[in-house]
Amino acid sequence: MRSRWFVEAKSVVSEVRQRTLARPLPHGRGSVGARVSQRFSRICLALALMLAVAAAAATRPRYGGTLRVEMRESQPSPEVFGVPKGFVLTSWEAGRRAVFAADENAPGGRPFLDAVEIQMARSLRDQSVDLELGKTDIVELSPTELRRQMAGRRVWSSSPVRLMALVFGPRIADARVREALALAVDRSAIHSVLLQKQGEISGALLPQWITGYAFVFAAGADVAKAQALVAGLSPADRTFSLAVEDPANRGIADRIQLNARDAHLTVSVVPSTLNADARLVEMRIAFADAPHALASVAAAFGLNEPPNARNPEEQYAAERAMLDGFRVIPLFHLPDVYGAGPRVQGGPVITPLGEWRFDSLWVEERP
């Protein structure tokens, strides 16, 4: 209610500004200066308006303030992190904290927010707790958090811009083992239950929305075939370790371990600190064009750089070649999902590509 009233008051003020005020008001301040050009009626109107605006000023939120954001990732440098549009970097603690201030000379005008404070390397669980306790304003949401109802929480999600995949190290030399695992993983069950149907099941490196042919890559499970592939291998050859980079994905790794067992593979899930035979990783696809995106994936996973594709067919062939040998087993393409607390106004917070959009936000602060 208060928010709606505030918007209405703002429109009235804008109208008054257009009609009666000679100079613009400082952003976020909301003061009114009046210049009577008419006589009594106008004086009365002006007085009424002054009273209304004074009343509104007493109760309305103020623009500005600091937006607190938490994220899982831990960026080493501001260049990698990127500076949100309309802001300038004022403080940087590598891997921990970044503070951005509103750029008074931003091309599209000064953002509503005075500053954005970003806390890095926060687990999804901690982020949820902090949001719940009002310690932060914007957090990343895990699929399970999505299901949980929370008063005043708003959710924004991007396109599937993160690739979740299994990446094998050099020790697992037998491609049959890698292929068997690819065939054993029940992506559908993981997608339905653990990911709460967020994102897409995929056997491709690049998401469907970028390439248009991702569906061609098989992503179904075939346990019988997986068993047949490793039937002749010794138990030692069928045993390997799987590291999970993000503890939030431990459940997915456990499910993969269980699926692998059905295929007579013995997988032990270990922390990412150990030198494992395979890793369950997530990577952000930062480019919307396929060649650049594929090159970035190849670079991230240590694969050979794909040839520069001139058409979709070449692009498909390049991606197919990268997947041959099952060194990388794509599992899902996942969106970035953010939740905002009740203090946050405006939005959306991210673009379809998952980029921050803080310039359209402001936080509601009580006087």
Partner 1 sequence: MTFRTRLLLIFAVAVAAAVGMVELIVSNRAREAFESMEARRVNAIVAQFHKEFERKGKEIVGTVQGIAESATAGEIAISPDPGQYSSEAGTLATNRLDLLELVAGDGAIVSSAQWPARFGYKEEWLLSEPDWQSRPAFLKSEELPDAVTLALVAVRTVAVGDMKLYVAGGRVLDSEFIASLVAPEGMRVLLYRNLAPAFSPADLIDANGPTGSAALLRPLVEQVEKQGRDGLLTIGRGASAETFHALPLKGRENDVLGVLLIGNSRHDLVELEASMLWTAVIVAVIGILMAIVVGWWATARITRPVQRLAESAGRVAAGNWGATVEVASKDEIGQLARAFNRMTHELVEQRDRLVQAERVAAWRELARRLAHELKNPLFPLQITVENMQRARDRYPEQFDEVFREGTSTLLAELSNLKQIIGRFSDFAKMPAPEMQPVNLNDLVTDTMRLFEAQLAKAGIRASAQLDAALRPVRADPEQMTRVLRNLVLNAVDAMPEGGTLTVRTVALGAGVRLEVSDTGQGLTPEECERLFTPYYTTKTHGTGLGLAIVQSVVSDHKGRISVESEKGKGTTFRIDLV
Q: Would you tell me which residues interact with partner 1 (CB under 8 A)?
A: 144, 147, 186, 189, 192-194, 196-197, 251, 254-255, 257-258
Tokens of 68: 């607190």
For partner 1, the closer of residues 34 and 223 by Cβ is 223
Q: CB within 8 A of 266, min separation 6: which ones?
A: 235, 238, 239, 240, 260
The Cα 209–Cα 333 span in angstroms is 10
Q: CB within 8 A of 309, min separation 6: which ones?
A: 290, 291, 294, 315, 317, 318
For partner 1, the closer of residues 256 and 295 by Cβ is 256
CA-based end-to-end distance of the chain:
17
Minimum Å gap between C-beta 254 and partner 1 is 4
For partner 1, the closer of residues 171 and 250 by Cβ is 250
Query: Would you say how long the chain is, in residues?
Result: 367
Amino acid at 143: P
Closest CA to 344 of 332, 328, 358, 355: 358
The Cα 317–Cα 136 span in angstroms is 45
Minimum Å gap between C-beta 261 and partner 1 is 10
Minimum Å gap between C-beta 259 and partner 1 is 9
Minimum Å gap between C-beta 227 and partner 1 is 16
For partner 1, the closer of residues 147 and 310 by Cβ is 147
Tokens of 92: 């940087």
Minimum Å gap between C-beta 242 and partner 1 is 12
Other beta carbons within 10 angstroms of residue 157's beta carbon come to: 21
For partner 1, the closer of residues 17 and 255 by Cβ is 255
Minimum Å gap between C-beta 195 and partner 1 is 9
For partner 1, the closer of residues 196 and 351 by Cβ is 196
